[in-house]
Amino acid sequence: MGQRIYLGEFEELILLLVGVLYDDAYAVAIKAELATQLGRNVNISAIHSALRRLEEKGFARSEMGEPTTKRGGRRKRLFSLTQSGKIALDENRTIRNQLWQQIPDISFS
């Protein structure tokens, strides 16, 4: 691997949501999920640039979906997880779990 690419907190969230939304993962849906599930109101441009970065890093890929009338006949850009995206999420989770388990009980008192 040589060089490791890290996921930022916000990027990780977005990548997770891409996975969650599965076949309808595009910016507006992600924004809605962020609002309902996490209560975070984020400007659409932030999501766009996060998705663009994820795609550049190879964690997500995109393809054009179907046009709808609500969008003025424009197609959605649908995102999906790539293999390396899945690995990155897994790794993140494993590392977190490891770290969690190392926390001694005392610190909770």
Positions touching other proteins (CB under 8 A) are: 26-28, 31, 43-46, 48-49, 52, 64, 67-77
Closest distance between other proteins and the C-beta of residue 95, in Å? 29
With beta carbons less than 8 A apart as the criterion, state whether 19 and 81 touch: yes
With beta carbons less than 8 A apart as the criterion, state whether 13 and 47 touch: no
Closest distance between other proteins and the C-beta of residue 49, in Å? 6
Nearest to residue 30, comparing CAs of 12, 56, 5? 12
Strand-strand pairing, 60-68 and 74-81: antiparallel
Tell me whether residue 8 or residue 67 sits nearer to other proteins (CB atom): 67
Tell me whether residue 79 or residue 85 sits nearer to other proteins (CB atom): 79
Tell me whether residue 75 or residue 86 sits nearer to other proteins (CB atom): 75
Tell me whether residue 19 or residue 65 sits nearer to other proteins (CB atom): 65
With beta carbons less than 8 A apart as the criterion, state whether 78 and 64 touch: yes
Closest distance between other proteins and the C-beta of residue 41, in Å? 12
With beta carbons less than 8 A apart as the criterion, state whether 38 and 13 touch: yes
Closest distance between other proteins and the C-beta of residue 75, in Å? 6
